[in-house]
Amino acid sequence: MTSSLGPLPVVDEPARPFVKWVGGKTQLLPELRKRVPKIFGRYYEPFAGGAALFFDLASSSCGHWPKEKGLTWADLNDANPWITTAYKAVRSQPENVIDVLRAMQDRYREDGNAYYYDIRANMDVDASLAQKAAVFIFLNKTNYNGLWRVNRAGGYNVPHGKRKTPPVICDEDNIRRVSRVLQHVSITTGDFELAVKGAARGDFVYFDSPYVPVSASSDFTAYTKEPFGPAEQTRLRDCALSLKTRGVRVMLSNADVPFVRELYRQDYGFKIERVEARRNVNSKGDRRGKVAEVIIT
């Protein structure tokens, strides 16, 4: 049974993404909203990242998401275990995350650059859930442009970001708001196909996968040590087709390049619409700014 989407019991103001994600959809939300189904059941976001669309939908007034205790109405998944760990920690231990982040924020304002590289060099996979979440959030807030990049060994290697004013590392109020929203959310780590295996007729899936690079210089971000190349893009297309045949509503974002337009051509049953988005991360400064993207339904 499907239900329409609606406002959640979030006080003061809506929850918003607690990390800045390269390729995040905050500034593209007006275009995405136009294409969200008015009525649907469970919501799936298999490449969660900062989950901007999820948080926007969770605070919208376009219907009603059930709020009964213990009821799950959304699934967030990501292949990056650091970000899913952060979601799980914020959901279950928001005050512990806040305590660790507050201490890190104080230390960062004393030692800045040196403290950043000390944290980066000592990312402990055996730390507590709250500590790992705090490290992830700290690095995201203090690194270069919110970038998350790893080498082939899986090592995080983003440099410290230089800012005119100290960043807000511990946004206590928003972390608490996010925690309340996430009580109704399943959080998993893994492949996108597994993440949508349970999607049924009337559900809605939004795929915001790593984009097909528009040039060699733009392909410099590796979110996980496994690449997301042409074979994975084709597998994603096939997954979207399979979902559509099962009656699942599907929306995807990607770069406006010939390979993507060929993958999702009209005779497969897809609709491609071109939109413009502002992107601020590129290895060459003169290539930052508005870029062409597509929204596929």
DSSP states of 83-130 as a string?
HHHHHHHHHH-HHHHHHHHHHHHHHHHHHTHHHHHHHHHT--TTS-HH
Tens digit of pLDDT for each residue in 44-73? 999 999 999 999 999 874 445 655 666 789
What does pTM read for this prediction?
A: 0.88
Name the pLDDT band for 129 (thresholds 50, 70, 90).
Answer: very high
Gap between the Cα atoms of 155 and 292, Å rounded: 31
Strand partners, 276: 292
Backbone φ and ψ of 158, nearest 5°? -85, 135
- Mapped onto helix, strand or coil, the DSSP state of residue 296 is strand
Range of weakest confidence among 65-79, 126-140, 179-193, 263-277: 65-79
Average pLDDT of every residue of the chain: 87
Q: Is the pLDDT of residue 42 over 80?
A: yes
pLDDT recorded at residue 286:
43
The residue ranking higher by pLDDT, 8 or 234, is: 234
CB 77 within 8 A of CB 195: yes
Q: What is the mean pLDDT of residues 208-220?
A: 73
Range of weakest confidence among 70-74, 132-136, 232-236: 70-74
Gap between the Cα atoms of 38 and 1, Å rounded: 15
Gap between the Cα atoms of 113 and 115, Å rounded: 6
pLDDT recorded at residue 25:
87
Tens digit of pLDDT for each residue in 86-110? 999 999 999 999 999 999 999 999 9
- Show the tokens assigned to 18: 């607690």
- Show the tokens assigned to 190: 């893994």
Distance between alpha carbon 99 and the CA centroid of its chain, in Å? 24
pLDDT recorded at residue 152:
82
pLDDT recorded at residue 12:
58
